[in-house]
């Protein structure tokens, strides 16, 4: 497993050693890292240098020639290592896993065109200005209603007036993030989306991936010159910047899940073929059985893949659907140079199979400035040179482009330059838009029952492999039961032990209602995974929720059984089968109610701190008014109504009824002048009357508790569905 984790580092070490052997005759001032950096810079930029020969003739000076020669001498080892790392088709074919000749990406070669894309969002400053103006007008109207003379000079100095009426502070209702952006992406191109921070790059990428959930979008997004609506999604796949994967799943299991949920019309055998084809393309055939790895909820670290390998798994999940267009958000972010180069080589190989990729190692570049399309094409250095910005010798072209674009964006000629580009696009590029037929049918997708089956299988697998998570909850249950028994062991059916028994029931109820707090991090970790997968629309909310809750219900059944069995065995509660079953179901639904409440709160708040704060507040209120400290009939009238909406009140009532209903209690032998010999509770019904529970039945209290549990179960679902959306 250690070899799996350190594979990328081993490649980098081998590269450096080989460079040392082959390049020992170079200048003594150049160390191994400089040689390695020279290789990386030239590998990424040599194509740009070749394209700019006509414009930048002076680039071919002696120093650059020497660097290129050095690249030829020292670079072969890097490419050889990477080629070894990315297996050829024969690697899988020889194992008779699939016939690689029968599966091709991009079954329909398409051209992606976007015309006059604009994106606007509500200006929060405008809303604030409206609120200030409203307060100012209310102040004026109040003075008029009171028939008071309005002191205009005083009103002009008022803070509301100043902010609401100043002519220079007029704020637009909407902010324009993108304005009339147009472009064409041909089949099999690698296109970089380039621009300074805040220029609208991420916004354009989200719109091209149809993942924008806020703001208003106008313009056209065409496939082969046709608008497809929802059918566009089957031609496009999106890879997020973060690798959000289930840590306990293997690589092939992760890809198979995406195949199951996103390829409804394909047989299981063909899905496996697609999985292994993707494994070949991303260079992870030897890691098919390796777990993803990472930090599990609770802090335990599971060994698995390296960062670059996880990135390739994320790319593989997107490739399962055989997309024509692959969009990636910073695919090399957080990776070392070798891992980044391996990832980009994988993407470069995909373009040779017809997949259009938007990002680096590119054949085309899109530059966005201030929400406008500044340039799209393959010779950005030439275009900048035509505007008077010539790239100096030896300067990194990417840095030069970025600096030049920032300077142009802040210049007075910016509007003229982008308007000229728009005119060029409309007159020269737009007439070349492809008009081939495309499939406009929207895939129906798999049924919700099948989604539940696949997700339930994954949840069970995660549960079985995350042994620490389940074991910790079982151990806590054991400790609660044993410590409880140490304090309340050997209870007797006597007058003296009645108060102990009622206190023991309340303590157990409080313990089981607080146990789910230990799993807040687990609930929130599944929230992140769900957000990522739902954004890709591979399943609905309900199947995911049901599959997750099935595991929680199972754990609740086990933990409650452990606690009740230990307590009944050692503490000597009312020992008959009916009382045992009734008590068990009371504790079970108390525990499940608390689980669903914490899940609902965690999905509404979204953070551990807020979840703990709000859930603790609710639990304190519920425990305080449960009826143990102060009986219901003795509560102040202003707060007496709280017990009606208190699930723990009905839970405590059901436990008390299960233990004391129609139960005979031993009385001491009467002794004159001895208050302790008085028999206050000859039967359990009097105990129930003491707690104002004489009018309840077990069925009523447990039934109401079940209703409250189901209410929080539904609330947890709505919290996941409505409060848990990715906003982009």
According to the 3-state scheme, what is the secondary structure of 456-491?
HHHHHHHHHHCHHHHHHHHHHHHHHHHHHHHHHCCC
Mark which of 152, 171, 190 sits at the end of a domain: 171
What are the C-alpha distances in Å from 373 to residues 182, 192, 201, 362? 7, 13, 10, 18
pLDDT at 363: 66
**Residue 315 domain-assigned (yes or no):** yes
Task: Read off the pLDDT band of 298 (50, 70, 90).
Answer: low
Domain count across the chain: 3
Do residue 182 and residue 165 come from a single domain?
no
**Residue 493 domain-assigned (yes or no):** yes
453 has a pLDDT exceeding 90: yes
pLDDT at 107: 46
Beta strand extents in 563-656 (DSSP E only) = none
Task: Read off the pLDDT band of 577 (50, 70, 90).
Answer: confident
- How far apart, in whole angstroms, are the C-alpha atoms of residue 101 and residue 12? 32
Count Cα neighbours of 262 within 13 Å in the Cβ-side half-sphere. 25
pLDDT at 81: 39
User: Which of 12-21, 204-213, 573-582, 641-650 bottoms out in mean pLDDT, i.e. has the lowest?
Assistant: 12-21
**Residue 667 domain-assigned (yes or no):** no
pLDDT at 396: 80
- How far apart, in whole angstroms, are the C-alpha atoms of residue 318 and residue 727? 20
Do residue 146 and residue 241 come from a single domain?
no
pLDDT at 323: 85
Indicate the pTM of the whole model. Answer: 0.71
416 has a pLDDT exceeding 50: yes
Residue 510 belongs to domain spanning: 456-658+690-722
Do residue 421 and residue 552 come from a single domain?
no
- The more confidently predicted of residues 247 and 74 is 247
**Residue 26 domain-assigned (yes or no):** no
In this predicted model, what pLDDT tens digit does every residue of 96-110 receive, in sequence order? 344 444 444 444 567
Sign of the Cα torsion 660, 666, 671, 674 reads: negative
Mark which of 171, 203, 226 sits at the end of a domain: 171
Mark which of 398, 432, 466 sits at the end of a domain: 432
Residue 431 is classified by DSSP as: G
Do residue 184 and residue 156 come from a single domain?
no
| Mean pLDDT rounded to a whole number for the chain | 77
487 has a pLDDT exceeding 60: yes
- How far apart, in whole angstroms, are the C-alpha atoms of residue 685 and residue 665? 10
Do residue 532 and residue 422 come from a single domain?
no
Do residue 181 and residue 166 come from a single domain?
no
Task: Read off the pLDDT band of 43 (50, 70, 90).
Answer: very low
- How far apart, in whole angstroms, are the C-alpha atoms of residue 487 and residue 504? 9
pLDDT at 158: 53
pLDDT at 147: 62
84 has a pLDDT exceeding 80: no
Do residue 325 and residue 361 come from a single domain?
yes
Do residue 514 and residue 633 come from a single domain?
yes
In this predicted model, what pLDDT tens digit does every residue of 129-166 receive, in sequence order? 777 777 777 777 776 666 665 555 455 445 445 554 44
**Contact criterion met (CB below 8 Å) for 173 and 689:** no
CATH code, domain with 313: 3.40.50.300
User: Which of 141-150, 421-430, 671-680 bottoms out in mean pLDDT, i.e. has the lowest?
Assistant: 141-150
**Residue 106 domain-assigned (yes or no):** no
Strands 364-369 and 190-194, by their bridges, are parallel
User: Which of 2-6, 68-72, 98-102, 284-288 bottoms out in mean pLDDT, i.e. has the lowest?
Assistant: 68-72
- How far apart, in whole angstroms, are the C-alpha atoms of residue 398 and residue 410? 19
- The more confidently predicted of residues 361 and 212 is 212
Task: Of 156-160, 268-272, 475-479, give the range with the top mean pLDDT.
Answer: 268-272
- How far apart, in whole angstroms, are the C-alpha atoms of residue 704 and residue 720? 24
Sign of the Cα torsion 629, 630, 636, 642 reads: positive
pLDDT at 724: 67
Mean pLDDT value of segment 54-76? 36
Task: Read off the pLDDT band of 680 (50, 70, 90).
Answer: confident
Mean pLDDT value of segment 405-430? 84
**Structure token pair of residue 112:** 């992606």
- The more confidently predicted of residues 200 and 167 is 200
- How far apart, in whole angstroms, are the C-alpha atoms of residue 7 and residue 14? 11
Mean pLDDT value of segment 407-415? 89
In this predicted model, what pLDDT tens digit does every residue of 15-34 receive, in sequence order? 334 444 433 433 333 333 43
- The more confidently predicted of residues 728 and 238 is 238
Q: What 3 state SS string does 634-683 have? A: HCCCCCHHHHHHCHHHHHHHHHHHHHHCCCECCCCCCCCCCHHHCCCCCE
566 has a pLDDT exceeding 60: yes
pLDDT at 553: 94
Do residue 422 and residue 463 come from a single domain?
no
In this predicted model, what pLDDT tens digit does every residue of 609-646 receive, in sequence order? 899 999 999 999 999 989 888 888 788 878 778 888 89
**Contact criterion met (CB below 8 Å) for 229 and 439:** no
Do residue 288 and residue 304 come from a single domain?
yes
**Residue 395 domain-assigned (yes or no):** no
**Residue 601 domain-assigned (yes or no):** yes
**Residue 715 domain-assigned (yes or no):** yes
pLDDT at 199: 82
pLDDT at 441: 60
Mean pLDDT value of segment 400-425? 87
**Contact criterion met (CB below 8 Å) for 382 and 337:** no
Helix axes 498-514, 541-571, angle to 10 degrees: 150
H/E run at residue 217: strand 216-223
H/E run at residue 275: helix 268-282
Mean pLDDT value of segment 443-447? 74
Count Cα neighbours of 87 within 13 Å in the Cβ-side half-sphere. 19
pLDDT at 436: 61
Do residue 132 and residue 167 come from a single domain?
yes
Do residue 227 and residue 344 come from a single domain?
yes
pLDDT at 289: 92
């Amino acid at each position: 497993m250690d070899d799996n984790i350190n594979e990328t580092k081993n490649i980098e070490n081998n590269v450096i050693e080989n460079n040392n052997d082959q390049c020992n005759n170079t200048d003594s001032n150049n160390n191994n890292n400089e040689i390695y950096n020279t290789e990386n810079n030239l590998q990424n930029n040599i194509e740009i240098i070749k394209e700019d020969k006509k414009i930048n003739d002076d680039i071919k000076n002696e120093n650059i020639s020497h660097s290129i020669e050095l690249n030829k001498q020292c670079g072969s080892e890097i490419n050889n290592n990477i080629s070894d790392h990315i297996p050829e088709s024969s690697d899988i074919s020889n194992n008779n896993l699939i016939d690689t000749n029968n599966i091709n990406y991009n079954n329909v070669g398409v051209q992606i065109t976007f015309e006059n894309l604009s994106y606007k969002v509500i200006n929060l400053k405008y809303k604030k200005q409206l609120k200030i103006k409203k307060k100012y007008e209310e102040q004026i109207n109040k003075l008029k209603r009171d028939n008071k003379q309005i002191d205009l000079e005083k009103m002009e100095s008022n803070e509301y007036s100043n902010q609401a009426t100043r002519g220079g502070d007029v704020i637009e209702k909407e902010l324009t993030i993108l304005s009339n952006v147009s472009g064409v992406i041909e089949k099999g191109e690698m296109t970089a989306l380039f621009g300074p921070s805040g220029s609208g790059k991420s916004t354009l990428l989200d719109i091209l991936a149809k993942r924008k959930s806020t703001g208003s979008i106008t313009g056209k997004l065409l496939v082969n010159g046709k608008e497809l609506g929802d059918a566009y999604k089957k031609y496009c796949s999106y890879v997020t910047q973060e690798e959000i994967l289930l840590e306990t799943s293997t690589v092939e299991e992760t890809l198979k899940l995406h195949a199951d949920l996103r390829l409804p019309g394909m047989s299981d055998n063909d899905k496996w073929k697609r999985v292994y084809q993707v494994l070949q393309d991303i260079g992870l055939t030897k890691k098919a059985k390796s777990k993803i790895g990472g930090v599990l909820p609770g802090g335990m670290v599971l060994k698995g893949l390296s960062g670059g390998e996880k990135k390739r798994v994320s790319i593989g999940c997107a490739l399962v659907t055989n997309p024509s267009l692959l969009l990636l958000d910073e695919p090399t972010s957080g990776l070392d140079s070798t891992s980044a180069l391996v990832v980009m080589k994988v993407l470069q190989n995909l373009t040779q199979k017809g997949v259009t990729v938007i990002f680096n190692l590119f054949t085309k570049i899109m530059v966005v400035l201030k929400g406008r399309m500044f340039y799209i094409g393959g010779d950005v250095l030439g275009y900048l040179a035509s505007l008077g910005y010539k790239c100096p010798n030896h300067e990194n072209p990417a840095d030069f482009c970025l600096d030049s674009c920032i300077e142009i964006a802040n210049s007075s000629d910016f509007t003229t330059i982008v308007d000229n580009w728009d005119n060029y696009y409309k007159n020269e590029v737009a007439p070349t838009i492809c008009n081939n037929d495309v499939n406009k049918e929207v895939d129906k997708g798999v049924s919700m029952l099948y989604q539940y089956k696949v997700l339930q299988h994954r949840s069970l697998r995660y549960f079985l492999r995350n042994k620490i998570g389940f074991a910790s909850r079982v151990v806590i249950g054991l400790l609660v039961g044993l410590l409880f028994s140490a304090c309340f062991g050997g209870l007797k059916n006597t007058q003296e032990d009645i108060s102990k028994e009622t206190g023991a029931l309340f303590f157990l109820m409080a313990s089981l209602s607080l146990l789910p707090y230990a799993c807040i991090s687990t609930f929130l970790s599944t929230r992140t995974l769900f957000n990522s997968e739902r954004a890709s629309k591979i399943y609905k909310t309900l199947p995911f929720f049901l599959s997750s809750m099935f595991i929680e219900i199972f754990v609740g059944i086990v933990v409650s059984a452990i606690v009740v069995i230990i307590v009944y065995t050692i503490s000597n509660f009312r020992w008959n089968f009916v009382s045992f079953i009734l008590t068990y179901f009371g504790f079970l639904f108390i525990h499940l109610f608390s689980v669903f409440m914490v899940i609902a709160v965690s999905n509404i708040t979204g953070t551990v701190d807020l979840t703990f704060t709000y859930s603790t507040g609710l639990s304190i209120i519920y425990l305080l008014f449960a009826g143990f400290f102060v009986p219901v009939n003795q509560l102040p009238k202003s707060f007496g109504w709280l017990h009606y909406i208190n699930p723990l009140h009905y839970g405590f009532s059901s436990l008390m009824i299960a233990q004391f209903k129609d139960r005979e209690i031993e009385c001491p032998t009467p002794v004159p002048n001895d208050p302790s010999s008085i028999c206050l509770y000859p039967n359990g019904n009097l105990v129930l009357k003491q707690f104002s529970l004489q009018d309840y039945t077990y069925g009523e209290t447990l039934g109401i508790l079940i209703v409250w549990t189901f209410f929080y179960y539904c609330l947890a679902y709505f919290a996941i569905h409505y409060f848990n959306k990715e906003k982009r």
